Structure 1
Amino acid sequence: MPQSITDLLSLTMPSPLHIFRPDWPGAEGLNIYIKRDDLIHSVISGNKWRKLSSLFNDSQSLPSHIVSFGGGYSNHLHALGYLCKTLNINCTVIVRGDYSKNMTPMLIDLKHWQINIRFVDRATYSKRHDKRFLTQLRHQYDDALIIPEGGSSSAALTGVSALVDEISVDFDYILAPVASGATLAGIASSVSSQKTVCGIAVLKGNQYLESLVSELMPGPQGNWYVDHRFHGGGYAKQDVILKDFCHEMQETYNIPVEPVYSGKLFFALKNKIAAGEFAEGSSLIALHTGGLQGARN
């Protein structure tokens, strides 16, 4: 009997759901849980696996070559590169900017995994959604499967929606970081309209992030919103307060977070609770989307 992809990759599925009792003002009146998708795998963790899983659900019909896009610190490219290395799939990553003389830890990993890295300028990278450019890439790379930046496609919603099915407790709110939109869209399209889905923006993008989510949604759904107050100045931007908070999450609660995604999520959760934004007795779920490699310098 063919081995499943989950077994081949040694994934922990379903991911654990942990009760969380922080010593934060206002938290004592709430039921707080963390969906620990960061524990799915040490490399292919969190929403990166969720968004890619539907493309790798059959070990007998895997693509021969995959092309995708991202920046020099992309969690998506890191997870995809590891997947392709493990499953013996040719992989080409198109990276925004020339890091050839200043390789990031993520790019060093990709090079070690023998992933084909192609650095392009911003003008070329801006064509990543252009149909003519994508057609050229397919011809250039032998009809390769092209995965959008961040893994955000309509196929990604299937994998993300599976995490909702794994939640065994009733809840009123679910919170997740949002950057490319697929995670928030997948959750919002899978929960009832009585539950509220809150995306915590990790980059500057008022209305831009909303448009990304809306474009991926299979239909109108009014149960979600994006909170833009906690991006800290932009993508991967961080200050001393956020750095200290990430350290506190690790040292006080033994929950590893990084300042790009998960750190901003939990920092937002703490502040939203302190501001009284959740009614007493409400049940909240914070989705830990992994991506801890982003904390490396």
Structure 2
Amino acid sequence: MQTITNIAESPIQTIHHPTLDKYGLTLQVKRDDLLHPVIQGNKWRKLKYNILHLKQAGLEELVTFGGAFSNHLYATSMACKLFAIKGHLIVRGPEIDRHNPTLKMASACGLTLHPVSRVEYRQRNQPEYIQTLQAKFNNAYLIPEGGTNALALQGVEELAHSLPQSDYVMTAVGSGGTVAGLISGLPNHTQVLGVTVLKGAEYLAQEIHELITIQRCAPWQLLYDFHHGGYAKTTPELLSFCHEMKVKYRLPLEPIYTGKLFYAIFTLAKQGYFNKGSVITAIHTGGLQGLDGLRYLDNQKST
């Protein structure tokens, strides 16, 4: 039986590419998409210590939040099934599309979906709203949207400690939890670069500062110019790049998070951003089920 602590560490893949060779760069990929068939990538890193805490506290249920195509909801659903947890998902609605692949997965795993209006959903971080939910689900552990909290950072710091020595460690940035954990867990001779996938994400810098609780941490920077139009937006160049990386280098990517990360790495390499001889470790944060969501939306548009 799968236990919380026996999911094996993910492998490292080295990418050999003419662009990297030209600029004397080594690119290592931490394949966290291979951690588990479903609970993969940064979502497992964030969930691990939250689930351990839930079990140790003697709780039997959890409540968390997300949009209809949320990677966090997808991973949480399978985690609840595997570890015998009764799960409740507060889904940004107001209505539930039962054909949505993420929500179908959640229902198949036995979770209860609670659609709420967008107005109510915006209250998800308000203390009064949290108190209301705790009163309603009085034997449940609440996990924030995206899974980011102090216990989540503990899981990402564990990832940081598993990485080979690197000059740069790079990750895609959505809510900021993964990059904050890397900043906290890596040595101060490693530069952490976060590629934001949202347009207008400058506000994230302050939120990441607030998540970091240690004084001595790795130097870091957010890169804001690789969002390709905004969250879940794509360009023909990005889609072509993702296809090439899968076919030529056996590196499956999706264009919402990981595709933008690797596109940024190769663009920066061509611009001479990295010093010759640099070792770059990129975190493949999983989320490949997002491709199912994109295909579903494309089919919806064509019908």
- Both structures adopt the same fold (TM-score exceeding 0.5): yes
Question: Given the alignment, which residue of 165, 171, 178 partners 1:183?
Answer: 178
CA distance in 2, matches of 1:100, 1:206: 28
**Equivalent residue letter for 1:197:** V
Q: Aligned-pair distance for 1:27?
A: 5.2
CA RMSD after TM alignment? 1.9
CA distance in 1, matches of 2:193, 2:22: 17
Contact 1:3 1:59 in 2 (8 A): no
Q: Percent identity?
A: 38
CA distance 1:219–1:35, change in 2 (3 Å): same
Q: Aligned-pair distance for 1:243?
A: 1.2
Question: Given the alignment, which residue of 269, 272, 279 partners 1:273?
Answer: 269
Q: What is the match of residue 226 of structure 1?
A: 222
Q: What is the match of residue 248 of structure 2?
A: 252
Contact 1:242 1:264 in 2 (8 A): yes
CA distance in 2, matches of 1:120, 1:176: 31
Q: What is the match of residue 123 of structure 2?
A: 127
Question: Given the alignment, which residue of 186, 192, 198 partners 2:187?
Answer: 192
Q: Aligned-pair distance for 1:154?
A: 1.2
Matched, 1:71 2:67: yes
Q: What is the match of residue 5 of structure 1?
A: 4
Contact 1:5 1:58 in 2 (8 A): no
Question: Given the alignment, which residue of 101, 112, 117 partners 2:113?
Answer: 117
Runs of 5+ unmatched residues, structure 2: 296-303
CA distance 1:3–1:85, change in 2 (3 Å): closer
Runs of 5+ unmatched residues, structure 1: none
Contact 2:78 2:109 in 1 (8 A): yes
CA distance 1:58–1:249, change in 2 (3 Å): same
Q: Aligned-pair distance for 1:142?
A: 2.0
Residues 133-159 of structure 1 deviation map (CA, whole Å, 9 limit, x = unaligned) = 101101111241100010011111110
CA distance 1:53–1:239, change in 2 (3 Å): same
Pairing 1:81-100 to 2, within 5 Å after superposition: 81-100=77-96
TM-score (norm 2): 0.91
**Equivalent residue letter for 1:192:** P
Q: What is the match of residue 151 of structure 2?
A: 155
CA distance 1:30–1:95, change in 2 (3 Å): same
Matched, 1:41 2:41: no
Question: Given the alignment, which residue of 44, 48, 51 partners 1:56?
Answer: 51
Contact 2:184 2:218 in 1 (8 A): no
Partner of 2:289: helix, strand, or coil?
A: helix
Residues 96-117 of structure 1 deviation map (CA, whole Å, 9 limit, x = unaligned) = 1234246421011111112111
Contact 1:17 1:35 in 2 (8 A): yes
Bigger mean CA offset, 220-229 vs 95-104? 95-104
